[in-house]
C-alpha cells in the first residue's frame, strides 16, 4: 500500500508539463503531446484513486481505460486534420494566423 | 373748538323697510349659479358658437352680462327673505380626495351680494360700451367672450365659499387680464404689457397658493367658513402667520401693491373697456374680497397686518403722487386706481373684529362705480380726440358737453367730495381706521393707516383737480380748437346695427364721434350711481360700523380744498392749465416710467432666472445626456476592442482557455 | 337635477348592448386585423392610395375605441390559462385605475390615425430680405398625400395602440410586460422611418428603444422577483398581499429596480434626457402616442406594480422620488425658458407635468394618488393637443426653430392659434382646464403627506413645485409672444385642415370638460385609490 | 452483477448509430451513389426522433432508463428534460441534414467522377455526432459522459474540415483552419475534462451520478466541478472558452455552422445539466463559476457582436451571448434551473436554425458577392419579404422582444431562478444585456427594413470564394445578374420553423 502523495505529485508535474507544452510549443504535434501529458496526469490520478481504495467501485480504473481510448481516437483525428493543414498551408505552426479573412475584415473596418 | 356731536354710522343708515314677499319662481339652482354660469356659458358660446358674426357675439356677451346682473339683483331680494341672510349652494359636488374635504360650495352674504351686483352691473355696462368701442375691431368676438369669462371668474371669487374655487377665479382673472391687455396682439407694446401683467401677478400668486396650502392643510378642508372657524379657534400660531403673510404677498401682486405695482399702469395698453373692467370692479379688487372673506384670520395675525399696512400705505401715497405727474389721462387714472385699491387694503389692515372689513368693501363698490365711469368717459373722449394724452384731452369736457358731467362727477367722487359716493366710503374708511386706533390704543398699524389715508385725501383731490382743470380748459383760447366745432354728438338709436354715419361721406372721424345709445346709457347709469350710490352705502345691511368723527371729516375736507386751491394756483399761467407742467421734466418723465420699476424687475428677477435657465440647459445637454451618449459610444468601442483582441491564432486561444480554467478554479475554491 | 341626470345616464347605459368579454374582441380585434392587413398591403408592389389606408386605419381605431368604451362600461373580466407551466394566465381585468387610461389611449389612437402623414422635407429656406417676406417660399401641403410606406406607418400606429391597451387591461404581470414591450418595435419604426429627416432620426429611435428596453428589463426583474416571492403573477393577488411575502430588504430592492425602470419610461428627472430628442424627431402622430400613451405606461406601472405591491419599499424611496420629481418640474421649466425648438419645448413641459404626477404619487395619501392619476390623464390630453398643434406648425414652417421670424400664428392660422393658447394655458396650470386639478392636488397632498413620509421634506418640495408653476407661466408667455402674437403675416401658412380641426376640437373639449367637472374622472378612480390606500 | 438493458429507451441513441453503420456498409456495396445514403441518414435521425418522443410525456421523477444495476443506478437515464433535449437535438440535426442536402448530394469535380464518396462519410459523421449529442444528457456516470461527449465533438471537427473539393483552394484552407481551431480547443478542453473527472472521482470516490453524491472534500469536489464545467463550456462557447467560435463558424460550410451552433450546444448543455444535477444533491455547494461564465459570455458576446459586419460572424458572437443566457439559470443549482436552461435552449435552437436557414436561402439567391455580409441584405424586406419576415421573427426571438413572445417568455424563464435566490448583480448584468442584445439584433433588422440600395446588376464576380458557403461558390458559377430561386426544401424549413416560433409565441410552453 503506497502513499498516494507521490503519484499525485507526479500527476501534478505531468499536468504542468503538458500545459507548458501546449502554451509554449509552435509545432502542432508537440502541442498534441502536451495534451497527451495532461491526459496522462488524469489517468494517473484515476489509477491512484482506484488503487488507494478511495473509490468504492472499479469505475475509476475503467475510466482510465476510457480516457486512454478516447485519447487515441483524438490523436488519430488530430493527425488527420494536421495533415490537411500541412497540405493546405505547408506548415503545422499553431502560431500562424487562422482567421486571415476576419483579420482583414477588421482592418478594413478599423 | 365747539364740541361736535358724536355721530355713529348707524345713525346715518337708512331704516330697513320691509320688502313685500314676491312669489319667488322656482328656478333651478341659486342666483349665484345663474350669475356665474350665465357669464361662463356666454364666454364659451362667444368663442365656440358665434361663428363669424359680431352681432351674435354681442348679443351673447351683453345677454350673459344682463342675465348675471338680473341674477345678482334677484339674489339681493332672496337674501332679504332668508333668516341670517346667508345662502349657500353646492357646485359640482365634493372632490373625492380621500381624507381631504373639498366641498366646492358657494356662499352669499350681504356685503358680498352687493359687491356681486356691482361687478355684474359694471360688466354689463362694459359689454354694451365695448360693442361700440370695438366696432371696427376684427377681434371683437374673443374680446367679448373674454370679458364674460372675466366677469364669471370675479363673481366666482366673490361668491365662493371654498378656497379652491377662490383660487380658480383668481387665476382665471389673471389669464383674462393677459388676453384683454394683449388684445391688440399685433402691437408689441400690448403683448409686452400683457406678459408683464400675467408674469408679475402669477409670480406673486405663488405666495397666494402656498398660503392656501397652509390654511387648507391645517384645517383639513378647503371650505372657507370651516377654514376660518378652525384657525380662529386655534388662535394665533406661526403657521397662521406664515399663511396670512403669504396670502398678503399674493394679494399685493394682484392688487398692484408695492413692489408689484408696475404692471397696472402698463396694462393701459389694453382697450379702454378692458381697463375699465380690470380697474373698476374685478381683478385689482379681488384681493380686497378675498382678504375680507378671511378677515377674522387676518385680524389675529399681527405680522400679516403690519406687512399689508406698510405695503398699502407706501403704495397709497406713492401712487397718488405719481398719478399727479402722469402726462396721460389713462395712466393718471391707472395710478389713482393703484392708490385707491391700496386704500381698501389698508383699511383691512387697520380694521378690528369690532369694525369688520365692510368699509373696504364699501369703498370697493364706490370705487367700482366712479372709476368705471371715469375710464369709459376717458375712452370716449379718447376716441373723439384721437388719444388719451393730456395735451389731446385738453378742454375735452368743454368741447363735448355730453362728457362734462360725466368727468366732473366722476372726479368729484374720486376726490371724495360730498355728496358723491366716494365721500361716504372714505368716511367709512376713516372711521374704521380711527376705531382701530382707538381699539388698539394707538397701535402702529391703524395710526399708520390713518395718517396715510389723511395724506392721500389731499393728494387725490390734487390730481383730480389737475385733471379737471385740463379737461375743462376753455376752448376759445386755442386756435387749434377751432378744428373741432362743438356740435352736439349724434346718437345712434339702432342698438346693434352699424351706424348710418359710416355710409355717409363724412368719414370715419364723425362716425367715431358718435356713440351707441347703449354705451351712452351705461355711462349715464354709472354717473347716476356716482351721485346717488351713497344710498347703497347707507343701507342697513353693512356690518358693524365705527363712529364718524366730524372733526376728522372737517379736517380732511379742509385739506382737500387747500390742495385743490394750490393746484389751481399752480395751473395758472400754464397754457394747458396743467399744474403738472410745473414739475421738472426729469421728475415727470421718471414718474411716467413708473420710477423705472421695470429695470428693477429685470435686474432682480428676469436676468438671474434666465442665466440659471441657460446654465441648466447647458448642464442637461453636456453632463446629464453625456452619460447616455457615452453608453452608446462606449459599448461600440468596447465591442471593437473585443473584436480586435479576440484571438485568431490557436495558441492564444488555448492560453485563454487555460487561464479561464485557472480563474474559475480559483474562484470556485475560494467561494466553496 | 342630479337625479334627472342619473336617470338619463341609466337610460343611455340601458341602450348599450351587453357583449361581456366580446367587448375585448371589439376593442383589440380591429387593431390586430387592420395592422396585419396594412402590413400585407404595404408589401404589395402597388400599395393602395392614401385615402384607403388612412380611412382604413381610422375605422379600425374608431371601432376599437367603441370597444374600449364598452369595456369601460361593462368592465368584463377575462381569465384564460396561457402559460400553465409558469402559472401565467391571459387575464384582462379593467378597474378604476385602468379605465381612464384605456379611454385616453383609444382617444389618442383616433387622433393619431386621423392626422395626415407628410414626407419629411428640407426646412424652408431662410428668407433673405429683412422684411422676411419671401413670396417664393412654397405653401406646404397640409392635406393627405401619398407617402411611401404609409401602410406600414398606420400599421405601426395600430400595433402601438394594441400593445398599450393590452398593458392597461392586463391583470397579469407577465401579460402587462408583454404589452409594455409590444409597443417598442413599432414606435421605433415610427421614429426611425417616418421621423424628421432634418435630424438624426435613426439615432433618436435607437436611443428611445435602448432606453426603454433597459427600463422594461429592469421592470421584468422586479416583476420576476415579486412573482417568485409570491408564487403568482396575478396583479390583484399582489395588491392583496401588499408585500407581505417580501422582507424589507427585498422590498427595497424590488422597489428600487422597478422605480428606476418605470422612471426611465415616465421619465423622472435624471433619466429624462431621451425624451426631448425623441419627441422632436418623431412624426406628429408618434409624438401624440408617445406623450398620451407610452409615458402613461410608466406612471401606470408605478401605481400598479409598486405602490400597492411593495408599499414598504415605496415608502422608503418616496422622498427621493418626490425630490427628483420636483427637481424635474423646475429643471424642465427652466430649460423651456431658453429652448429653441418648439417641439422640444413641449416635450420638456411634459417632463415638468410628470414631475407633478410623481410628486403626488410619492406623498402616499389618497389625495396625492388621486391627483397623480388625474394629472396623468390631463397631461395626456394636453400634451396630445399641443403636439397636434406644434407638429402641424412644424410641418407648415418646415422646422420648429423659434429663432427664425415667422408669421404670427394668430394672424395667419387663427384656429391653430386658439388651440395653441388653450393648450399652453392648460399646460401652465390654468384653473378650469384639466391640468390644474392634478397640480393643485399634488401640492395639497405634498403639504400634508402620509404619516410615514418626512413632512418637512415634502413641504419643501411643495414650495419648489409651486415656484415651478410660476415658471410654467413664464415659458407659456414666452411661447405665446414668440409664436402666437405679432404682426407679421409672411410667410403664409394654411390654417388647420379638417382632420386637425376634428382632433383639436375633441381634445380641447375634453380638456375643458375635465377642467370644469374634475369629479367626472376623480369619481372613477376614487374606488381604486380607496382600495389601495384605504387599508 | 447483472445489467438489465432496455433497448427501446436507448433507441434515440442507437437509431442514428445504426443508420451510420448501415450507410457505411451501403457505400461499400454500391459506391458512387449519394442520395440513398442521405435518405438512410435522414431515416435514422427520424427514427431516433420518434423514439425519443414518448419521453416527453414522462411525469416528474420517472425516467426511461437502461443499463441499470441492481442498485437502481443506470448508465443511461432519460427523464422528461433529457428527452426534450434529445428531441431538440435530433430535430435540429434533421433540419441541418435537409439544409445541407444539395451540398452533400452534389457530385465532385468532373461531374460525379469524384471517387471518394464524400456523402456517406459526412453523413455518417453527422449521425455519429448526433448520437453522441443525444447520449450526453442521459449519461449516468463519468465514463459514458466522457465517451458521449467526445463522440459528439470529434466528428464535428471532421465535418468542418471536409468541405467540397470543388471549392477554391484558399477557401478550403480556411476550412481547415477552422477545423484546427476547433480541434485544438476541444483537445485542451478534453484534457481539462479528464482532469476534472479524475478529481471528481477522487473527491466522491465514485464515477456514478447516483442521486446521493457524497463528498469527503467539498473544495476538491467544487474544483472538480469547475474543471468539468470548464471542459464543457468550450462546447457551449462560453467566454473565455469561445475563441474558436468566430473562426470556425466563419470557416465551416453554412450547414455545419448551423450544426455547431445548435446541436452541439445541446450536448454541452446536457453535460452541464448532468454535472449540475449531480452537484445539486450535495449540500452547501455553489457554482459562482457558472454565474461568472454566464455574465461574461453574454456581455462579451453582445459587445463584440455589436460591431460585426458579416452576418455569420454576427451569429457566431450572438451564440456566445446566448450561451450566457443558457448558462444563466444554472447559476442556481436546482432542478427548476436545469429545466429552465433546457427551455431556453430549445427556443434558442429554433430561432438560430431559422436564422441560418434564411441565411442559406439568401446565399442561394446569391444576388451579390459575399451575400452573407450585412450590407448585402439591405432592403431584403422590400425584395424578398417572405424571407425577411421570418428572419426578423427569429432575430426578435433571440432579442426577446414582442411580437416574438416566445423569446420574451424564454428570457422570463431564464431569469426566474436567478431572481428566485436574489443574486441581483447577475440579474442586473442580464438586464443590461437584454438591451445590448437588442441593439445587436436590431442593427440587423434595421438593415433588413431599410430602403433597398441601387442593385448593380452582375455584382456576382465568379471564382472568389469570399463568401461563407459552397452554395455561394455555386452561385458564382451562375451567370451574373439572373435572379435564382430559393430551393423548395429551404422554403419548407423556413415555414416549419416559423410556424414553430409563431405557435410558441401564441401559446408559449414556458418551462419544460
Average pLDDT over residues B124-139: 87
- D331 with D418: CB under 8 angstroms? yes
Q: Please, what is the end-to-end C-alpha distance for chain A in angstroms?
A: 64
Tell me whether residues D419 and C217 touch, CB distance under 8 A. Answer: no
- What is the grid cell recorded at B361? 368693501
Chain C CB within 8 Å of residue D412 CB: yes
pLDDT tier, D474 (very low <50, low <70, confident <90, very high otherwise): very low
Q: What is the CA radius of gyration of chain B?
A: 31
Residue A73: CA atoms inside 13 Å, Cβ hemisphere, count?
A: 18
Taking CA atoms, what residue in D is nearest to C80?
D507
Q: With contacts defined as CB-CB under 8 Å, which chain A residues touch D184?
A: 28, 31, 94
Average pLDDT over residues C259-264: 93
Alpha carbon separation from C246 to C227, C249, C252, C447 (Å, rounded) = 10, 8, 10, 30
| Chains interfacing with D (3 or more CB pairs < 8 Å) | A, B, C
DSSP helix/strand/coil, A1:
coil
User: Under CATH, what is the fold of the domain A5-109?
Assistant: Helix Hairpins (1.10.287)
How far away is chain B from the Cα of A96, in angstroms, using its nearest Cα?
6
* Percentage of chain B lying above the pLDDT 70 cut: 90
- B84 with B98: CB under 8 angstroms? no
Chain A and chain D share a number of CB contacts under 8 A equal to 144
Tell me whether residues A96 and B658 touch, CB distance under 8 A. Answer: no
pLDDT tier, B503 (very low <50, low <70, confident <90, very high otherwise): very low
pLDDT tier, C130 (very low <50, low <70, confident <90, very high otherwise): low
Q: Is the pLDDT of residue B593 over 50?
A: yes
Nearest to D325 by CA among D222, D220, D397, D376: D397
Report helix angle D405-420 to D385-399, nearest 10: 10
Tell me whether residues C466 and B209 touch, CB distance under 8 A. Answer: yes
Average pLDDT over residues C153-170: 93
Q: With contacts defined as CB-CB under 8 Å, which chain B residues touch C274?
A: 628
Q: What is the distance between the alpha carbons of residues C110 and C121, in angstroms, rounded to a whole number?
A: 25
Average pLDDT over residues D149-160: 93
Average pLDDT over residues A81-86: 91
pLDDT tier, B480 (very low <50, low <70, confident <90, very high otherwise): very low
Chain C CB within 8 Å of residue B182 CB: yes
pLDDT, chain B, mean: 84
Among C163-167, D309-313, D484-488, which range has the highest average pLDDT?
Answer: C163-167
Q: Is the pLDDT of residue B359 over 80?
A: yes
**B window 92-151, beta carbon within 8 A of C:** 92-100
pLDDT, chain C, mean: 88
- C64 with C106: CB under 8 angstroms? yes
**B window 332-371, beta carbon within 8 A of C:** none
How far away is chain D from the Cα of A2, in angstroms, using its nearest Cα?
16
Residue A88: the pLDDT is: 86
Q: Is the pLDDT of residue B486 over 60?
A: no
Average pLDDT over residues B379-408: 82
DSSP β-bridge partners for residue D208: D141
Residue D465: the pLDDT is: 36
Full residue range of the structural domain in which residue D421 is found = 286-512
Q: Is the pLDDT of residue D71 over 50?
A: yes
Tell me whether residues A97 and B658 touch, CB distance under 8 A. Answer: no
Q: Are strands B491-492 and B515-516 parallel, antiparallel or unpaired?
A: parallel
Chain D CB within 8 Å of residue B488 CB: no
Residue D337: the pLDDT is: 85
Average pLDDT over residues D400-408: 87
Nearest to B576 by CA among B386, B366, B389: B389
Average pLDDT over residues C282-296: 92
Cβ-nearest to B640 among A19, A95, A110? A110
Per-residue pLDDT of D75-126, as tens digits, reads 888 888 999 999 999 999 999 999 988 888 777 655 554 555 678 888 999 9
Touching pair C, A by Cβ (3+ pairs < 8 Å) = no
| Spans of all domains in chain B | 312-592, 602-671
Residue B244: the pLDDT is: 92
Tell me whether residues D402 and C188 touch, CB distance under 8 A. Answer: no
Nearest to B39 by CA among B58, B67, B74, B59: B67
Residue A54: the pLDDT is: 56
H/E/C letters for each residue in B576-639?
A: CCCHHHHCCHHHHHHHHCHHHHHHHHHHHHHHHHHHHHHHHHHHHHHHHHHHHHHHHHHHHHHH
Cβ-nearest to B650 among D184, D189, D246? D184
Alpha carbon separation from C406 to B49, B324, C485, C490 (Å, rounded) = 30, 42, 11, 7
Burial of C460 (0-12, 13-18, 19+ CB in 10 A): middle
Report helix angle D142-161 to A59-89, nearest 10: 10
Q: Please, what is the end-to-end C-alpha distance for chain D in angstroms?
A: 36
Q: Of C303 and B503, which is predicted with more confidence?
A: C303
Q: φ and ψ at B492, to 5 degrees?
A: -120, 115
pLDDT, chain D, mean: 83
Q: What is the distance between the alpha carbons of residues B451 and B442, in angstroms, rounded to a whole number?
A: 12
- C325 with C355: CB under 8 angstroms? yes
Q: With contacts defined as CB-CB under 8 Å, which chain D residues touch B633?
A: none
Report helix angle B54-81 to B31-48, nearest 10: 170
Chain B and chain D share a number of CB contacts under 8 A equal to 93
Amino acid at each position: 500500500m503506497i502513499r498516494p502523495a507521490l503519484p499525485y505529485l507526479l500527476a501534478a508535474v505531468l499536468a504542468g508539463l503538458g500545459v507548458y507544452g501546449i502554451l509554449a510549443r509552435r509545432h502542432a504535434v508537440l502541442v498534441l503531446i502536451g495534451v497527451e501529458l495532461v491526459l496522462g496526469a488524469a489517468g494517473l490520478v484515476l489509477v491512484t484513486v482506484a488503487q488507494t481504495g478511495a473509490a468504492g467501485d472499479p469505475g475509476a480504473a475503467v475510466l482510465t481505460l476510457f480516457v486512454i481510448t478516447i485519447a487515441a481516437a483524438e490523436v488519430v483525428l488530430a493527425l488527420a486534420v494536421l495533415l490537411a493543414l500541412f497540405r493546405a498551408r505547408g506548415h503545422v505552426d499553431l502560431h500562424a494566423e487562422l482567421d486571415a479573412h476576419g483579420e482583414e475584415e477588421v482592418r478594413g473596418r478599423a | 373748538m365747539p364740541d361736535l356731536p358724536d355721530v355713529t354710522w348707524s345713525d346715518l343708515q337708512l331704516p330697513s323697510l320691509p320688502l313685500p314677499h314676491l312669489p319667488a319662481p322656482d328656478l333651478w339652482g341659486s342666483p349665484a349659479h345663474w350669475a356665474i354660469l350665465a357669464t361662463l356659458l356666454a364666454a364659451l358660446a362667444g368663442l365656440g358658437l358665434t361663428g363669424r358674426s359680431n352681432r351674435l357675439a354681442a348679443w351673447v356677451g351683453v345677454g350673459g352680462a344682463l342675465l348675471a346682473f338680473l341674477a345678482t339683483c334677484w339674489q339681493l331680494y332672496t337674501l332679504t327673505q332668508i333668516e341670517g341672510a346667508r345662502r349657500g349652494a353646492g357646485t359640482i359636488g365634493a372632490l373625492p380626495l380621500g381624507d381631504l374635504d373639498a366641498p366646492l360650495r358657494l356662499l352669499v352674504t350681504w356685503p358680498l351680494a352687493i359687491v356681486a351686483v356691482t361687478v355684474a352691473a359694471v360688466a354689463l355696462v362694459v359689454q354694451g360700451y365695448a360693442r361700440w368701442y370695438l366696432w371696427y375691431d376684427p377681434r371683437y368676438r374673443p374680446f367679448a367672450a373674454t370679458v364674460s369669462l372675466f366677469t364669471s371668474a370675479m363673481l366666482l371669487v366673490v361668491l365662493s365659499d371654498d378656497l379652491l374655487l377662490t383660487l380658480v377665479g383668481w387665476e382665471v382673472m389673471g389669464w383674462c387680464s393677459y388676453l384683454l391687455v394683449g388684445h391688440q396682439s399685433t402691437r408689441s407694446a400690448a403683448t409686452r404689457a400683457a406678459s408683464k401683467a400675467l408674469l408679475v401677478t402669477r409670480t406673486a400668486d405663488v405666495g397666494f397658493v402656498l398660503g392656501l396650502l397652509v390654511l387648507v392643510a391645517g384645517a383639513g378642508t378647503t371650505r372657507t367658513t370651516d377654514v376660518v372657524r378652525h384657525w380662529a379657534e386655534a388662535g394665533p400660531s406661526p403657521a397662521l402667520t406664515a399663511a396670512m403673510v403669504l396670502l398678503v404677498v399674493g394679494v399685493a401682486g394682484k392688487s398692484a401693491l408695492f413692489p408689484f405695482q408696475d404692471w397696472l399702469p402698463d396694462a393701459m395698453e389694453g382697450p379702454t373697456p378692458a381697463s375699465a373692467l380690470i380697474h373698476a370692479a374685478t381683478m385689482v379688487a379681488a384681493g380686497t374680497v378675498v382678504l375680507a372673506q378671511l378677515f377674522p384670520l387676518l385680524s389675529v395675525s399681527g405680522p400679516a397686518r403690519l406687512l399689508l399696512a406698510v405695503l398699502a400705505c407706501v403704495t397709497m401715497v406713492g401712487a397718488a403722487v405719481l398719478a399727479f405727474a402722469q402726462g396721460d389721462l389713462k395712466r393718471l387714472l391707472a395710478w389713482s386706481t393703484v392708490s385707491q385699491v391700496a386704500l381698501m387694503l389698508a383699511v383691512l389692515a387697520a380694521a378690528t373684529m369690532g369694525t369688520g372689513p365692510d368699509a373696504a368693501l364699501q369703498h370697493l363698490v364706490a370705487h367700482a362705480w366712479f372709476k368705471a365711469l371715469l375710464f369709459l368717459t376717458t375712452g370716449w373722449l379718447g376716441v373723439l380726440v384721437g388719444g388719451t394724452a393730456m395735451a389731446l384731452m385738453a378742454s375735452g369736457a368743454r368741447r363735448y358737453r355730453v362728457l362734462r358731467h360725466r368727468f366732473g362727477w366722476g372726479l368729484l367722487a374720486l376726490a371724495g367730495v360730498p355728496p358723491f359716493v366716494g365721500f361716504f366710503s372714505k368716511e367709512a374708511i376713516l372711521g374704521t381706521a380711527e376705531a382701530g386706533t382707538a381699539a388698539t390704543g394707538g397701535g402702529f398699524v391703524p395710526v399708520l393707516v390713518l395718517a396715510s389715508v389723511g395724506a392721500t385725501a389731499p393728494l387725490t383731490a390734487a390730481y383730480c383737480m389737475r385733471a379737471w382743470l385740463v379737461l375743462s380748459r376753455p376752448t376759445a383760447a386755442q386756435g387749434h380748437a377751432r378744428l373741432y366745432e362743438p356740435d352736439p354728438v349724434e346718437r345712434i338709436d339702432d342698438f346693434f346695427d352699424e351706424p348710418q354715419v359710416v355710409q355717409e361721406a363724412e368719414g370715419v372721424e364723425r362716425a367715431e364721434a358718435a356713440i351707441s345709445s347703449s354705451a351712452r346709457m351705461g355711462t349715464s347709469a354709472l354717473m347716476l350711481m356716482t351721485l346717488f350710490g351713497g344710498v347703497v352705502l347707507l343701507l342697513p345691511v353693512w356690518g358693524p360700523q365705527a363712529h364718524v368723527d366730524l372733526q376728522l371729516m372737517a379736517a380732511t375736507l379742509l385739506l382737500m380744498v387747500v390742495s385743490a386751491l394750490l393746484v389751481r394756483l399752480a395751473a395758472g399761467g400754464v397754457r394747458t392749465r396743467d399744474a403738472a407742467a410745473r414739475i421738472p421734466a426729469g421728475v415727470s418723465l421718471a414718474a411716467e416710467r413708473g420710477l423705472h420699476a421695470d429695470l428693477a424687475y429685470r435686474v432682480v428677477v428676469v436676468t438671474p432666472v434666465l442665466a440659471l435657465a441657460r446654465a441648466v440647459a447647458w448642464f442637461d445637454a453636456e453632463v446629464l445626456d453625456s452619460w447616455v451618449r457615452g453608453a452608446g459610444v462606449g459599448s461600440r468601442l468596447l465591442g471593437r476592442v473585443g473584436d480586435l483582441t479576440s484571438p485568431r491564432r490557436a495558441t492564444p486561444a488555448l492560453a485563454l482557455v487555460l487561464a479561464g480554467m485557472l480563474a474559475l478554479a480559483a474562484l470556485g475554491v475560494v467561494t466553496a | 337635477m342630479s337625479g334627472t341626470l342619473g336617470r338619463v345616464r341609466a337610460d343611455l347605459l340601458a341602450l348599450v348592448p351587453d357583449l361581456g368579454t366580446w367587448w375585448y374582441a371589439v376593442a383589440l380585434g380591429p387593431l390586430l386585423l387592420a395592422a396585419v392587413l396594412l402590413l400585407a398591403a404595404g408589401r404589395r408592389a402597388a400599395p393602395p392610395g392614401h385615402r384607403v389606408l388612412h380611412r382604413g386605419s381610422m375605422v379600425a381605431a374608431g371601432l376599437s375605441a367603441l370597444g374600449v368604451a364598452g369595456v369601460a362600461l361593462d368592465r368584463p373580466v377575462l381569465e384564460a390559462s396561457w402559460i400553465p407551466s409558469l402559472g401565467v394566465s391571459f387575464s384582462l381585468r379593467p378597474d378604476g385605475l385602468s379605465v381612464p387610461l384605456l379611454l385616453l389611449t383609444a382617444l389618442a389612437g383616433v387622433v393619431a390615425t386621423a392626422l395626415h402623414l407628410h414626407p419629411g422635407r428640407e426646412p424652408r429656406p431662410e428668407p433673405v430680405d429683412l422684411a422676411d417676406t419671401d413670396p417664393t417660399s412654397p405653401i406646404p401641403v397640409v392635406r393627405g398625400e401619398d407617402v411611401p410606406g404609409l401602410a406600414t406607418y398606420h400599421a405601426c400606429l395600430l400595433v402601438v395602440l394594441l400593445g398599450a391597451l393590452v398593458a392597461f387591461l392586463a391583470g397579469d404581470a407577465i401579460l402587462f410586460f408583454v404589452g409594455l414591450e409590444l409597443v417598442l418595435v413599432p414606435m421605433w419604426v415610427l421614429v426611425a422611418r417616418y421621423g424628421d429627416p432634418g435630424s438624426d432620426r435613426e439615432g433618436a429611435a435607437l436611443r428611445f428603444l435602448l432606453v426603454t428596453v433597459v427600463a422594461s428589463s429592469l421592470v421584468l426583474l422586479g416583476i420576476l422577483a415579486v412573482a417568485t416571492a409570491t408564487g403568482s403573477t396575478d396583479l390583484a393577488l399582489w395588491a392583496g398581499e401588499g408585500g407581505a411575502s417580501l422582507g424589507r430588504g427585498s422590498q427595497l430592492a424590488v422597489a428600487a429596480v422597478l422605480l428606476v425602470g418605470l422612471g426611465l419610461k415616465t421619465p423622472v428627472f435624471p433619466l429624462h434626457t431621451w425624451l426631448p430628442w425623441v419627441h422632436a424627431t418623431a412624426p406628429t402622430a408618434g409624438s401624440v402616442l408617445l406623450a398620451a400613451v407610452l409615458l402613461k405606461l410608466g406612471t401606470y406601472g408605478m401605481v400598479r406594480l409598486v405602490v400597492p405591491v411593495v408599499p414598504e419599499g415605496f415608502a422608503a424611496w418616496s422622498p427621493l422620488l418626490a425630490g427628483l420629481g420636483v427637481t424635474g418640474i423646475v429643471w424642465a421649466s427652466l430649460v423651456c425658458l431658453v429652448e429653441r425648438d418648439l417641439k422640444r419645448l413641449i416635450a420638456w413641459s411634459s417632463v415638468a407635468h410628470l414631475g407633478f404626477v410623481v410628486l403626488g404619487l410619492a406623498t402616499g395619501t389618497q389625495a396625492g394618488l388621486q391627483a397623480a392619476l388625474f394629472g396623468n390623464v390631463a397631461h395626456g390630453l394636453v400634451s396630445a393637443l399641443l403636439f397636434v398643434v406644434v407638429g402641424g406648425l412644424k410641418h407648415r414652417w418646415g422646422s420648429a426653430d423659434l429663432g427664425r421670424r415667422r408669421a404670427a400664428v394668430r394672424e395667419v392660422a387663427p384656429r391653430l392659434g386658439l388651440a395653441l393658447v388653450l393648450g399652453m394655458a392648460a399646460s401652465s396650470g390654468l384653473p378650469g382646464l384639466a391640468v390644474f386639478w392634478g397640480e393643485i392636488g399634488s401640492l395639497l397632498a405634498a403639504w400634508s403627506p402620509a404619516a410615514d413620509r418626512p413632512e418637512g421634506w415634502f413641504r419643501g418640495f411643495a414650495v419648489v413645485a409651486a415656484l415651478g408653476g410660476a415658471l410654467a407661466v413664464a415659458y407659456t408667455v414666452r411661447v405665446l409672444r414668440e409664436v402666437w402674437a405679432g404682426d407679421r403675416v409672411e410667410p403664409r401658412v394654411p390654417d388647420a385642415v379638417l382632420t386637425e380641426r376634428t382632433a383639436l376640437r375633441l381634445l380641447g373639449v375634453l380638456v375643458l370638460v375635465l377642467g370644469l367637472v374634475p369629479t367626472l374622472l376623480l369619481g372613477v378612480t376614487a374606488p381604486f385609490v380607496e382600495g389601495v390606500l384605504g387599508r | 452483477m447483472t445489467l438489465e438493458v432496455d433497448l427501446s429507451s436507448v433507441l434515440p441513441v442507437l437509431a442514428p448509430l445504426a443508420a451510420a453503420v448501415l450507410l457505411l456498409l451501403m457505400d461499400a456495396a454500391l459506391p458512387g451513389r449519394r442520395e440513398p445514403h442521405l435518405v438512410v441518414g435522414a431515416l435514422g435521425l427520424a427514427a431516433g426522433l420518434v423514439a425519443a418522443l414518448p419521453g416527453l410525456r414522462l411525469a416528474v421523477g420517472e425516467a426511461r432508463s437502461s443499463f441499470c444495476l441492481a442498485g437502481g443506478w443506470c448508465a443511461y437515464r432519460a427523464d422528461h428534460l433529457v428527452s426534450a433535449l434529445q428531441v431538440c437535438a435530433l430535430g435540429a440535426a434533421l433540419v441541418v441534414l435537409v439544409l445541407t442536402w444539395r451540398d452533400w448530394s452534389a457530385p465532385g469535380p468532373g461531374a460525379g467522377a469524384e471517387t471518394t464518396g464524400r456523402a456517406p462519410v459526412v453523413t455518417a459523421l453527422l449521425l455519429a455526432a448526433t448520437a453522441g449529442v443525444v447520449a450526453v444528457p442521459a449519461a449516468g456516470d463519468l465514463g459514458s459522459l466522457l465517451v458521449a461527449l467526445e463522440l459528439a465533438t470529434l466528428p464535428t471537427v471532421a465535418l468542418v474540415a471536409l468541405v467540397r473539393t470543388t471549392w477554391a483552394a484558399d477557401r478550403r484552407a480556411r476550412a481547415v483552419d477552422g477545423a484546427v481551431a476547433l480541434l485544438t480547443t476541444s483537445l485542451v478542453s478534453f484534457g481539462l475534462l479528464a482532469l476534472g473527472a479524475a478529481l471528481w472521482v477522487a473527491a466522491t470516490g465514485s464515477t456514478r451520478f447516483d442521486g446521493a453524491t457524497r463528498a469527503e472534500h467539498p473544495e476538491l469536489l467544487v474544483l472538480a466541478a469547475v474543471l468539468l464545467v470548464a471542459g464543457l463550456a468550450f462546447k457551449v462557447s462560453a467566454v473565455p472558452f469561445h475563441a474558436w467560435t468566430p473562426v470556425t463558424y466563419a470557416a465551416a460550410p453554412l450547414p455545419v455552422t448551423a450544426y455547431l451552433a445548435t446541436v452541439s450546444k445541446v450536448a454541452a448543455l446536457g453535460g452541464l445539466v448532468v454535472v449540475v444535477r449531480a452537484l445539486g444533491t450535495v449540500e452547501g455547494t455553489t457554482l459562482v463559476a457558472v454565474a461568472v461564465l454566464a455574465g461574461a459570455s453574454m456581455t462579451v458576446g453582445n459587445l463584440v457582436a455589436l460591431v460585426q459586419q458579416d452576418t455569420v460572424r454576427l451569429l457566431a458572437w450572438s451564440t456566445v451571448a446566448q450561451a450566457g443566457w443558457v448558462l444563466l439559470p444554472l447559476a442556481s443549482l436546482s432542478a427548476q434551473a436545469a429545466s429552465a436552461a433546457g427551455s431556453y435552449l430549445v427556443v434558442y435552437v429554433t430561432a438560430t436554425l431559422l436564422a441560418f436557414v434564411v441565411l442559406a436561402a439568401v446565399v442561394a439567391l446569391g444576388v451579390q458577392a459575399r451575400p452573407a455580409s450585412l450590407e448585402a441584405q439591405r432592403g431584403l424586406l422590400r425584395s424578398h419579404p417572405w424571407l425577411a419576415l421570418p428572419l426578423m421573427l427569429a432575430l426578435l426571438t433571440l432579442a426577446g422582444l414582442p411580437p416574438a413572445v416566445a423569446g420574451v417568455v424564454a428570457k422570463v424563464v431564464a431569469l426566474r431562478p436567478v431572481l428566485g435566490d436574489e443574486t441581483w448583480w447577475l440579474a442586473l448584468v442580464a438586464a443590461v444585456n437584454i438591451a445590448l442584445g437588442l441593439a445587436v439584433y436590431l442593427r440587423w433588422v434595421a438593415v433588413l427594413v431599410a430602403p433597398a440600395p441601387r442593385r448593380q446588376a452582375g455584382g456576382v464576380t465568379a471564382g472568389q470564394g469570399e463568401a461563407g458557403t459552397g452554395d455561394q461558390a455555386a452561385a458564382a458559377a451562375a451567370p451574373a445578374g439572373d435572379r435564382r430561386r430559393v430551393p423548395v426544401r429551404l422554403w419548407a424549413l423556413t415555414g416549419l420553423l416559423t410556424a414553430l416560433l409563431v405557435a410558441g409565441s401564441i401559446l408559449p410552453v414556458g418551462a419544460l
